[in-house]
Amino acid sequence: MNRVYERRWLKFAKGGRMKYIGHLDLLKIFQSAIRRAKLPIAYSMGFNPHQRLSFALPLPLGVDSVCEYIEILLDEPADLSVLDEQFPEGLRVLSVYEVSEKVQKPAAAVAAVDYRLTFKGAFDETLMDSKEILVIKKSKSGLKEVDIRPDILSLEYDPVGAVNMRLSTLNPHLAAQKLTDSYELVRLELLANKNGDLVPLHKIAL
């Protein structure tokens, strides 16, 4: 018989010095915070049990975020907001959502991502007019040239020196570097497909 866990999605902000912390180190921070908070975390089975955690979409280095998600499985109900007391500066709990068993994992649900890019100096206002946008990406077989134009869903320019970008799960640096030489990025929201519309990820959990 399959075991039933308390399933939670935790939405958190990541910024400041923490934006230079990589995905694996972030996982270790969560694991340590959960242990210190003495939360009833569920563990995997086998010879090397590990905490049942899964992030929605790894955040590239150097990007701030106000919309990161992690799924946490618990053996019993618990208040995940207590993790705020265990986090280092730059991590902050925003919301916690109960999730039914029918909802897919957050990593599988992400269909698009909203970013805000701020820049100084020149930028390319004509990028969306291009039929193809070629970049060099690393793959298991080495470097290869790929067209990222289909992954840039929309760009909205703001005269104050910013661009709102809606991308697929593409690394935002690849699009940003085609727009300008100097920039800062904030991830605003992870989006999922619900009845043909893109909605904030947490809305499929409600």
CATH 3.30.70.580 at 6-102, yes or no: yes
Predicted local confidence at residue 103, as pLDDT? 92
DSSP per-residue codes, 186-204: EEEEEEEEETTEEEEGGGG
Which of these, 204, 191, 136, lies nearest to 164 by C-alpha position?
191
pLDDT in tens, the chain (206 residues): 467 789 999 999 999 999 999 999 999 999 999 999 999 999 998 888 999 999 999 999 999 999 999 999 999 999 999 999 999 999 999 999 999 888 999 999 999 999 999 998 888 889 999 999 999 988 778 889 999 999 999 999 988 889 999 999 999 999 999 999 999 999 999 999 999 999 999 999 87
The residues of the chain that CATH labels 3.30.70.580 are: 6-102
DSSP 8-state symbol, 154: E
The structure's pTM equals 0.93
Per-residue pLDDT, 47: 85
